[in-house]
Amino acid sequence: MSQKVAVLGTGKIGEALLSGMIRGGWNPSDLLVTARRPERAEELRTRYGVTPVGNPEAAKSADTLILTVKPQDMGALVEELAPHVPADRLVISGAAGITTAFLEERLPAGVPVVRVMPNTPALVDEAMSVISAGSHATAAHIETAEQIFGSVGQTLRVPESQQDACTALSGSGPAYFYYLVEAMTDAGILLGLPRDKAHDLIVQSAIGAAVMLRDSGEHPVKLRENVTSPAGTTISAIRELENHGVRAALIAALEAARDRSRELASGNGN
Ligand SMILES: NC(=O)C1=CN([C@@H]2O[C@H](COP(=O)(O)OP(=O)(O)OC[C@H]3O[C@@H](n4cnc5c(N)ncnc54)[C@H](OP(=O)(O)O)[C@@H]3O)[C@@H](O)[C@H]2O)C=CC1
Ligand SMILES: O=C(O)[C@@H]1CCC=N1
């Protein structure tokens, strides 16, 4: 018998996951979705051939529930779901900050919970998803989460104590690279290049650098040294990055993201 999976709160990350699961071979007839707005539910049905249902029906019908609402909406969603979740359902949360304990306290006793932090490159099957087991989750539950999130990229098991740090690094990580590309494109314009050419130069440089980071087996320091010629252009730029404290800014930025993830643990966003 095929396993049914429901994505509850199918927004940006839920849709990225759903689309990747279908590309990865999941049958749309085994996938249920929930949405707050009827027009959004209809959009998902038309686009993917999946079945929109209400949250209680998803809890009753699917073997695995993937919760992808905002942390601030998680309390209300779980309150609505809890009376309908049988003890053998696997509940996977993809929300920043929300702990497995938060969900276990609100779901019927013994329901297995797994916490996952994916990222938006799920849309191109290049996600990084970090996975942690709650107190009732078995190896089989973790494998189910790996199978689902493995259909949109790489997965890594981490202790839950590292989830907030991983959220800062890989959950939010793509945004930092987009921010850099945006800033470097502005620099290209300052240097007199048309915006579209500056954009193309930076994007291809980013792709080349990313593939080398992944495939060359070299340390990032070595890769940077290979670009940095004596008395050349790159060291002039690096000196300015150091003068402006870019390394320290990145460390502080990721620390702030980690702290915000911890704050979101309460589920009310305050
Ligand atoms: N965006 C990202 O890069 C990543 C996000 N995440 C996590 O994923 C979660 C969602 O983020 P994101 O996709 O960006 O946010 P979105 O707002 O795009 O998605 C959340 C969706 O949940 C819907 N929703 C809210 N409450 C309910 C409910 N009770 N029943 C059904 N649907 C509901 C919202 O409806 P409506 O449209 O009406 O508001 C919305 O469509 C967050 O917890 C975030 O921490 C994790 C990794 C990366
Ligand atoms: O910004 C956020 O809170 C979410 C979680 C990780 C990426 N986006």
Q: Say yes or no: 178 and 156 in one domain.
A: no
Let me know if residue 131 belongs to a domain. yes
Query: Of 13, 172, 261, which is best to mutate to test ligand 2, by the most ligand atoms within 8 angstroms of its C-beta?
Result: 172
Let me know if residue 87 belongs to a domain. yes
Strand 31-34 versus strand 51-52 pairing type: parallel
What domain range includes position 47?
5-163
Q: Say yes or no: 210 and 109 in one domain.
A: no
Q: How far is the CA of 195 from the centre of ligand 1 (A)?
A: 32
Q: What is the C-alpha to C-alpha distance for residues 246 and 238, in angstroms, rounded to an integer?
A: 10
Question: Which residue has its alpha carbon closest to ligand 2 atom 7?
Answer: 172
**pLDDT at residue 1 above 60?**
no
Let me know if residue 270 belongs to a domain. no
Q: The domain that contains 27 carries what CATH number?
A: 3.40.50.720
Kindly provide the ipTM of the predicted complex, given to two decimals: 0.98
Among 163, 192, 227, identify where a domain stops: 163
Q: Say yes or no: 207 and 143 in one domain.
A: no
Q: How far is the CA of 188 from the centre of ligand 1 (A)?
A: 35
Q: How far is the CA of 230 from the centre of ligand 2 (A)?
A: 40
Let me know if residue 196 belongs to a domain. yes
Length of the chain: 270
Q: Say yes or no: 181 and 154 in one domain.
A: no
Number of domains in the chain: 2
Tell whether ligand 2 has an atom less than 6 A from the beta carbon of residue 96. Answer: yes
| The model's pTM | 0.96
% the chain with pLDDT above 90 = 97
Let me know if residue 268 belongs to a domain. no
Let me know if residue 120 belongs to a domain. yes
Q: Say yes or no: 113 and 152 in one domain.
A: yes
Q: Say yes or no: 125 and 152 in one domain.
A: yes
Among 114, 145, 163, identify where a domain stops: 163
Q: Say yes or no: 127 and 205 in one domain.
A: no
pLDDT at 267: 77
Among 128, 163, 198, identify where a domain stops: 163
Give the pLDDT band (50/70/90) at residue 268: confident
Task: Give the pLDDT confidence of 70-124 residue by residue, as tens digits.
Answer: 999 999 999 999 999 999 999 999 999 999 999 999 999 999 999 999 999 999 9
Q: Say yes or no: 155 and 182 in one domain.
A: no
- Over residues 211-221, mean pLDDT: 97
Q: Say yes or no: 113 and 184 in one domain.
A: no
Neighbours of 127 (CB within 10 A): 25
Q: Say yes or no: 68 and 125 in one domain.
A: yes
**pLDDT at residue 266 above 90?**
no
Q: The domain that contains 220 carries what CATH number?
A: 1.10.3730.10
| Beta-carbon contacts of residue 215 (< 8 Å; ≥ 6 apart) | none
Q: How far is the CA of 70 from the centre of ligand 1 (A)?
A: 5
Q: Say yes or no: 197 and 217 in one domain.
A: yes
Closest atom, ligand 1, to C-alpha of 174: 3
Task: Give the pLDDT confidence of 35-77 residue by residue, as tens digits.
Answer: 999 999 999 999 999 999 999 999 999 999 999 999 999 999 9
Task: Give the pLDDT confidence of 17-35 residue by residue, as tens digits.
Answer: 999 999 999 999 999 999 9
Q: What is the 3-state secondary structure (H, E, C) of 207-243?
A: HHHHHHHHHCCCCHHHHHHHHCCCCCHHHHHHHHHHH
Let me know if residue 111 belongs to a domain. yes
- Mean pLDDT score of the chain, rounded to an integer? 97
Task: Give the pLDDT confidence of 164-199 residue by residue, as tens digits.
Answer: 999 999 999 999 999 999 999 999 999 999 999 999
Tell whether ligand 2 has an atom less than 6 A from the beta carbon of residue 171. Answer: yes
Give the pLDDT band (50/70/90) at residue 11: very high
Which structure tokens are listed for 255? Answer: 């620390």
Q: Say yes or no: 29 and 109 in one domain.
A: yes
Let me know if residue 267 belongs to a domain. no
